[in-house]
Amino acid sequence: MSPERFARINALLDTRQPDLTLCLEGVHKNHNLSAVVRTADAVGVHEMHAVWFDRKGRVAGGTAMGSQNWVRVHHHQEPTSTNTLRDLQAQGMQVLVTHLSDTAIDFREVDYTRPTCIVMGQEKHGVSAESIAAADHQIVIPMVGMAQSLNVSVAAAVVLYEAQRQRELAGMYAAPRLSAAERHRVLFEGGHPIFAKLCRQKNIPYPELDEQGQIMADEAWWQQIRLAQK
């Protein structure tokens, strides 16, 4: 790993927001999912969730522009999203669903400096009734035109950048917030992808990195890697 790449990855990790996430319900068009991942990366979202009701989608690298390598997408195959949302709420997150209703509030009225999960559904059907019932708040993006909804990737960007604005003002991007273990995982996988792949395939622990991002490993580790390459 070059010093420049090591510095770039560290700068990215310094601004990651581990308590800001998205949950997409049945957003089955791969380019939409990928566009949301790209925006999530841009505002510092570290992990997000995709819930599939029928078939599983994938992140298209062309649309995501490499952001899929820096935002971990957890895929869930389940009949409803409530299990995923309950798990997030148990972690202390407020759950917001985008939904046009009489009780929905302007998305800008929410405090996004709190641990937050934003739930969005596909344009045709929106979020599920179960997710609406489980949510702490329903939010809406005000619209004065003929259209009643935005493309899901555009809506995600609008809400995420409001969250980014609030968090920036609160100083939440000023200090690293990821755990040391997670930071090390991303640094190793991003800086040494070939070795990281071998480690995952053969269940070999990631070694430590020095202050320049170079691998610090004993001969036993290197022997395991040589055997894994054969």
Into how many domains does the chain fold? 2
Question: Does residue 159 sit in the same domain as residue 203?
Answer: no
Low-confidence ranges of the chain (pLDDT < 50): 60-65
159 occurs within a structural domain: yes
CATH at residue 26: 3.40.1280.10
* pLDDT of amino acid 82: 74
33 occurs within a structural domain: yes
Per the structure, the complete domain to which residue 159 belongs is given by: 17-169
Could you tell me the CA-to-CA distances from 190 to 69, 74, 171, 175 in Å, in that order? Answer: 8, 18, 26, 21
**92: region left, alpha or beta (phi > 0 left; psi from -120 to 50 alpha):** left
* pLDDT of amino acid 159: 96
The tokens describing 162, both together, are 């409001």
Question: Does residue 197 sit in the same domain as residue 163?
Answer: no
Question: Does residue 30 sit in the same domain as residue 115?
Answer: yes
d(CA 46, CA 222) in angstroms, rounded, equals: 30
5 occurs within a structural domain: no
d(CA 212, CA 2) in angstroms, rounded, equals: 8
* pLDDT of amino acid 108: 96
Contacts of 107 (CB under 8 A, 6+ apart): 96, 98, 139, 140, 141, 158, 159, 162
DSSP notation for 93-130: -EEEEE--STT-EEGGGS-TTS-EEEEEEBTTTBS-HH
Annotated binding site for S-adenosyl-L-methionine: 98, 141, 150
Question: Does residue 131 sit in the same domain as residue 153?
Answer: yes
3 occurs within a structural domain: no
* pLDDT of amino acid 60: 47
Question: Does residue 192 sit in the same domain as residue 133?
Answer: no
Question: Does residue 151 sit in the same domain as residue 217?
Answer: no
Contacts of 112 (CB under 8 A, 6+ apart): 20, 162, 163, 166, 167
* pLDDT of amino acid 66: 60
Question: Does residue 193 sit in the same domain as residue 80?
Answer: no
Question: Does residue 151 sit in the same domain as residue 221?
Answer: no
* pLDDT of amino acid 229: 87
148 occurs within a structural domain: yes
* pLDDT of amino acid 170: 97
Pair 152, 27: CB distance under 8 Å? yes
Question: Does residue 37 sit in the same domain as residue 135?
Answer: yes
Question: Does residue 143 sit in the same domain as residue 217?
Answer: no
Strands 215-216 and 47-52: unpaired
Question: Does residue 152 sit in the same domain as residue 190?
Answer: no
* pLDDT of amino acid 54: 65
35 occurs within a structural domain: yes
